[in-house]
Amino acid sequence: MTPGKPAWVVLVGAACSLVSARAPAAQTTGTVDLGISTVRYDGFLASGAASLTPAVRWESPRGMVSAHGTYLRFESGHRSLQGLVIGSIFTPATSHWRGELTASTGASSYAHFASFWHAIAEARVHLLGDNRGAWIGATGGLTSYGGPGRPVAAAAIGTWARRGELTFLGSASRTFVGDTAYTDLASSVHARRGSLDLEADLGARAWSRGGGRGVYGEANATVILGERTALVVAGGRYPTDPIRGSIAGRYLSVAFRMRRAPLRSLPARDPRAPLVDERASSGSSSSGARLEIKPDSGGTTHVVVRALGATLVEIAGDFTDWQPVGLRHVEDDVWEAVLRISSGLHRVDVRVDGGNWLVPSGTTRTADDFEGEAGIFVVP
């Protein structure tokens, strides 16, 4: 967590990652960031700080829980502590709609005189399309600055779209915290290419009563150094957050991230775990699974898997919300399903005879978000 990063960034990021259904299985990951920062809060002089940020995150296609804390030690000797826990659950996706309920609670303190806590909940309804979507939501809760809680209420709308490895998001929100009121217009873009992960946020606060105003923006880059390590560089300007109690300011930070191996949960409903390399499956019928994609003129796509000696073949991909879909036996070693798959880039895995999920031949192997692999194919 960068110094003072608004809570809406965390909530929007969590929701978008789940709505886009890229999480292939239930996963638990943990990270620790060790970094240095220079921070200039509005009305104060710039100050250097050392930071320690541990975090843990569990997520599945139906929900997410994350918790993290940030310890900042300023050159003045003062220290700042922040903690945040967020949980989201999703209703099963229909062809176009999905519901979401998110709860967030956290606290922060600076030196020996400033402390905040908050507890809020948000309900959203998502409209889902092919690599795009929109949502509308309402938030309610309490926040406190060393005294009785003040009511929090907000309404927001947003939209997102994904094109290849780029994800775009825009939102507008109106927030009331006690007698403070403000409107945020925000946008972000996320891109991933090889070992480099980039994200940029740009927004503006207007129609404000006690919440500040103006344009703000942040950017961060994560460079993967090894299997368990990364370098994170971030900077920019963020607005005042009356819910969490942070003051508007500017910052620049550099951190070294250490990540523990993900702990894969293996419930019966999990469509993709464990995931193995098909090249290591010598002697099993799974090693011969080959995928062929045959679009037709009617808007549907024939998904064909050739699996030697198979008695059951299933696929799971972003186009099935990562739920297993059984294929029909056509002839000999040929299995087929006719599905509606949008044009563009898609991820998929194949399972034969109830075994492990694997990357089928005939696709391009790529890493997923949890150190597993999936196959990539393109529908024209």
Residues 6+ apart with CB under 8 A from 156: 136, 137, 138, 139, 171, 172, 173, 174
Judged by average pLDDT, the poorest of 15-29, 116-130, 202-216 is 15-29
- Per DSSP, the residues of 190-249 read EEEETTEEEEEEEEEEEEEESS--EEEEEEEEEEE-SSSEEEEEEEEEE--BTTTTBPPE
**DSSP structure class, residue 309:** T
pLDDT of 200 above 90: yes
> From CA 281, how far away is CA 315, in angstroms rounded?
18
pLDDT of 151 above 60: yes
pLDDT of 194 above 80: no
Mean pLDDT of the chain: 81
> From CA 174, how far away is CA 246, in angstroms rounded?
18
195 pLDDT tier (thresholds 50, 70, 90): confident
Judged by average pLDDT, the poorest of 42-46, 132-136, 169-173, 311-315 is 42-46
pLDDT of 100 above 70: yes
**Of 218 and 283, the one with more pLDDT:** 218
264 pLDDT tier (thresholds 50, 70, 90): very low
78 pLDDT tier (thresholds 50, 70, 90): confident
pLDDT of 69 above 50: yes
Angle (CA) 59 3 217, round 5°: 90
Contact of 152 with 140, CB cutoff 8 Å: yes
pLDDT of 132 above 90: no
> From CA 308, how far away is CA 284, in angstroms rounded?
9
Instruction: Report, as an integer, the average pLDDT of 9-20.
Output: 42
- Of the chain, the end-to-end C-alpha distance in Å amounts to 40
**Residue 42: alpha-carbon gap to chain centroid:** 30
By CB atoms closer than 10 A (0-12, 13-18, 19+), residue 65 is middle
Instruction: Report, as an integer, the average pLDDT of 297-311.
Output: 84
**Of 310 and 268, the one with more pLDDT:** 310
> From CA 58, how far away is CA 67, in angstroms rounded?
9
pLDDT of 50 above 90: yes
Instruction: Report, as an integer, the average pLDDT of 138-161.
Output: 93
pTM for the full predicted model: 0.66
Domains and CATH numbers, the chain: 7-264 (2.40.160.40), 275-379 (2.60.40.10)
pLDDT in tens, 227-256: 688 999 999 999 999 998 888 999 999 999
372 pLDDT tier (thresholds 50, 70, 90): low
**Of 197 and 164, the one with more pLDDT:** 197
Instruction: Report, as an integer, the average pLDDT of 42-66.
Output: 86
Q: How high is the pLDDT of residue 219? A: 97
Q: How high is the pLDDT of residue 65? A: 92
Choose from 238-252, 319-333, 341-355 the range with maximum mean pLDDT.
238-252
Instruction: Report, as an integer, the average pLDDT of 312-325.
Output: 84
For residue 362, the surrounding DSSP H or E stretch is none
Q: How high is the pLDDT of residue 11? A: 42
229-238/249-259 β-pairing? antiparallel
Q: How high is the pLDDT of residue 27? A: 64
What sign results for the dihedral spanned by CA atoms 202, 206, 209, 213?
positive
Three-state DSSP class for 27?
strand
> From CA 19, how far away is CA 27, in angstroms rounded?
16
283 pLDDT tier (thresholds 50, 70, 90): very low
Instruction: Report, as an integer, the average pLDDT of 157-162.
Output: 91
> From CA 49, how far away is CA 36, in angstroms rounded?
6
Instruction: Report, as an integer, the average pLDDT of 149-163.
Output: 93
Q: How high is the pLDDT of residue 61? A: 62
317 pLDDT tier (thresholds 50, 70, 90): confident
**DSSP structure class, residue 360:** P
Structure tokens that stand for 190 in this block: 């996320």
56 pLDDT tier (thresholds 50, 70, 90): very high
Instruction: Report, as an integer, the average pLDDT of 42-62.
Output: 86
The tally of CA atoms less than 13 A away on the side-chain side of residue 228 is: 9
> From CA 355, how far away is CA 185, in angstroms rounded?
48
Instruction: Report, as an integer, the average pLDDT of 48-53.
Output: 95
Share of the chain above pLDDT 90, in %: 42
Q: How high is the pLDDT of residue 117? A: 93
Q: How high is the pLDDT of residue 64? A: 86
